[in-house]
Amino acid sequence: MGAEYTPKKSNVSLLSATMLSATCMVGSGWLFSAQLSAKIAGNWAFLAWVLAAILVLLVGMCLSKVVAVYPVRGATTRSSSLSHNGIFGMPFAFANWFGIMVVIATEAQATTQYLSAASGSAVLMEHGALTYTGKLLALFILFIYLVINYYGVKLLARVNNVVTVLKIFVPIFTVIIFLIAGLDHTGITNNFHLETNDAFGPTSAIWAIIGAGLVYSFNGFQVSASFASEIKNPKRNVPLSIILSVIVIMILYMALQYAFMSAVPHDVLVKSGGWQGLNFSSPLLNLAMLLGLNFVAILLIADSVISPSATGYTYLGASSRMLYAMAAEGQMPRWIAKLDPIYNFSKRSMLVNWVLAAIVLFNADSWAALMVVVTGYHVIGYMAAPISMGAISPKTRIFGLIVFVILSLIMMTIPLHDLMLVNATLTVLLVIYACVQHKVGLQKLLLFILPFILYLWLLYFVPKIWFVIVISIVFYILITSKRYVAMCKEHGDTDRVIE
């Protein structure tokens, strides 16, 4: 396997690593997920949050095993390259990059939807979808992200602490006020005992994990693993920071779920036909305005601009640097990798990411619709963790197999149209990669990339539980076997990326 990576001096404490992950888990998801969870799962929404937390904790433990051996920068996107080789790792690298790029569009959409509710008109949003005017505003917000990344790095650094405080304060304050408002309703308990609640069950909680944006909301859990090379005692503190941050945010989201469901006026809920019929375009803001909580409404409007925007322009910069790195390595067209002599980053890479985000934005009606696609890329990225762990530490293969099968079953809850879109974009990206990397040889490309792509398409064409379980077990055992891993290392470039 080779010598373990020896990290340089680390300065990030357990508390800092925990806060880093926790802060990244409070993005636009908290603005929408409470209503979506209630619509999909009713009272079972609370179980959905617990199941989603368990899911990301399982993935987090796999990542922790990887960074215990290789505490490198960007371990979340590099794990499969470290365990196998760079060619094998490309589908996961593309899924991570494309997922982050699409998040940029979702954040612009989140702000637009909340501004639509604040304006009180149908100019920006109508019938649950952004109008052309709304999409133009979202595109303008996207343009602001671009300008900030071009010229506002110093300014961004100065306001980051303020943004972080707001991202934590506003959700907590909203929960408290909604809980107080809910106590004023004589029908608060009736909200949880509607006749229509009988339509929900335990399986509803499983469907809500992706459909309600729960995985999307928890996605920041892996940030501490990305900083493994800079965290003190990463073998101990990375898994601890993941566990602590996920538990803290799970409690926050469950409190928000309860506060939202109890604060909705009972008569409004009955007129809507129960949770399934509740259709606030900007859930928390619409509820605050309905309850006459003007101060909370103002805070939510401000947070809907600041919090998603902070994520949006940060992810634009991050995705641009990821694309630049792939281009510099010859994994994407090299013309993208040209650095600007003044600002020392690739403007071409940033423009490519911005154009792609704009295209995605104009082809999605709402935050919820786009969020499901993003989550598809996230789950594919998560699959790298149990695969890498099983290859690096064969004793953990049974645990890795269980996690991998669970992730494959979760993929079945993605609507087929969205799963097809995710698979198709990854296939196109890998075809581009194969054309650029033609010198590598067709045999290596087919041997290291084709198996996973075929596996993803099988999940799409045969969405049967028994088949998915069987094919996932066979696939995982094959690609984590000693023979296949040794072959990857023999014909790969693993040593080059450990730095």
284-294 pLDDT tens trace: 999 999 999 99
| Confidence grade of residue 3 (pLDDT, cut at 50, 70, 90) | very low
Domain boundaries, given as residue ranges, for the chain: 14-497
- Say what the pLDDT of residue 329 is: 61
**CA-based R_g, the chain, Å:** 22
CB 174, CB 300: distance < 8 Å: yes
- Say what the pLDDT of residue 49 is: 98
Segment 340-368 shows an average pLDDT of: 83
Give the number of other Cβ atoms within 10 Å of residue 363's Cβ: 13
- Say what the pLDDT of residue 156 is: 52
- Say what the pLDDT of residue 162 is: 65
DSSP class of 70: -
Give the phi and the psi of residue 71 in degrees, each rounded to 5.
-75, 75
What DSSP string describes 415-465?
A: -HHHHHHHHHHHHHHHHHHHHHTGGG-HHHHHHHTHHHHHHHHHHHH---H
pLDDT in tens, 12-45: 788 888 887 887 788 888 999 999 999 999 999 9
- Say what the pLDDT of residue 382 is: 94
CB 247, CB 402: distance < 8 Å: no
Q: Which residue would you say has higher pLDDT here, 407 or 163? A: 407
Segment 78-84 shows an average pLDDT of: 84
Which fold does the domain 14-497 belong to in CATH?
A: Amino acid/polyamine transporter I (1.20.1740)
4-8, 115-119, 402-406, 421-425: range with lowest mean pLDDT: 4-8
Q: Cα(69)–Cα(61) distance, rounded to whole angstroms? A: 13
Segment 52-59 shows an average pLDDT of: 97
CB 285, CB 118: distance < 8 Å: yes
What does the buried/exposed string (b/e) look like for 201-222 if buried means 16 or more CB atoms within 10 Å of the residue's CB? eeebbbbbbbbbbbbbbbbbbb
| Confidence grade of residue 127 (pLDDT, cut at 50, 70, 90) | confident
pLDDT in tens, 319-352: 777 787 677 766 677 788 777 666 666 788 888 9
CA 252 to chain centre: 18
- Say what the pLDDT of residue 286 is: 93
- Say what the pLDDT of residue 4 is: 47
CB 307, CB 167: distance < 8 Å: yes
Residues 6+ apart with CB under 8 A from 96: 76, 77, 322, 377, 381
- Say what the pLDDT of residue 304 is: 87
- Asked whether the predicted pLDDT for residue 10 surpasses 60, the reply is no
CB 90, CB 331: distance < 8 Å: yes
Which residue is listed with tokens 């617990």?
50
CB 444, CB 85: distance < 8 Å: no
Collapse the DSSP code of 363 into the 3-class scheme (helix H, G, I; strand E, B; otherwise coil) and give the result: coil
Segment 135-154 shows an average pLDDT of: 81
Q: Which residue would you say has higher pLDDT here, 73 or 390? A: 390
Give the number of residues written for the chain. 499
Q: Cα(255)–Cα(274) distance, rounded to whole angstroms? A: 20
pLDDT in tens, 188-230: 567 888 877 788 999 999 999 999 999 999 988 887 776 776 7
Q: Cα(123)–Cα(213) distance, rounded to whole angstroms? A: 26
What DSSP string describes 146-182?
A: HHHHHH-HHHHHHHHHHHHHHHHHHHHHHHHHHHHHH
Give the number of other Cβ atoms within 10 Å of residue 302's Cβ: 13
Q: Cα(361)–Cα(371) distance, rounded to whole angstroms? A: 11
What's the mean per-residue pLDDT of the chain? 85
- Say what the pLDDT of residue 1 is: 44
User: Residue 481, exposed/middle/buried by CB under 10 A (0-12, 13-18, 19+)?
Assistant: middle
- Say what the pLDDT of residue 190 is: 78
Question: Which pTM was predicted?
Answer: 0.89
- Say what the pLDDT of residue 485 is: 94
Greatest mean pLDDT among 51-55, 232-236, 337-341 lies in 51-55
**% of the chain residues with pLDDT over 70:** 88
CB 263, CB 182: distance < 8 Å: yes
Q: At what angle do helices 294-328 and 347-362 cross, to 10 degrees?
A: 130
What DSSP string describes 237-289?
A: HHHHHHHHHHHHHHHHHHHHHHHHHHHS-HHHHHHTTSGGG---SSHHHHHHH
CA-based max dimension of the chain: 71
- Say what the pLDDT of residue 5 is: 47
Q: Cα(316)–Cα(1) distance, rounded to whole angstroms? A: 35
- Say what the pLDDT of residue 368 is: 87
- Say what the pLDDT of residue 439 is: 75
- Say what the pLDDT of residue 31 is: 92
Please name which of 288, 266, 259, 254 lies closest in space to residue 191, comparing C-alpha atoms: 266
- Say what the pLDDT of residue 133 is: 93
pLDDT in tens, 426-455: 999 888 888 877 777 788 888 899 999 999
- Say what the pLDDT of residue 492 is: 67
DSSP class of 485: H
Give the number of other Cβ atoms within 10 Å of residue 37's Cβ: 33
Segment 47-67 shows an average pLDDT of: 95
CB 33, CB 171: distance < 8 Å: no
Q: Cα(213)–Cα(211) distance, rounded to whole angstroms? A: 6
The residues with which 231 forms a beta bridge, in sequence order, are 12
- Say what the pLDDT of residue 337 is: 76
Give the phi and the psi of residue 413 in degrees, each rounded to 5.
-85, -5
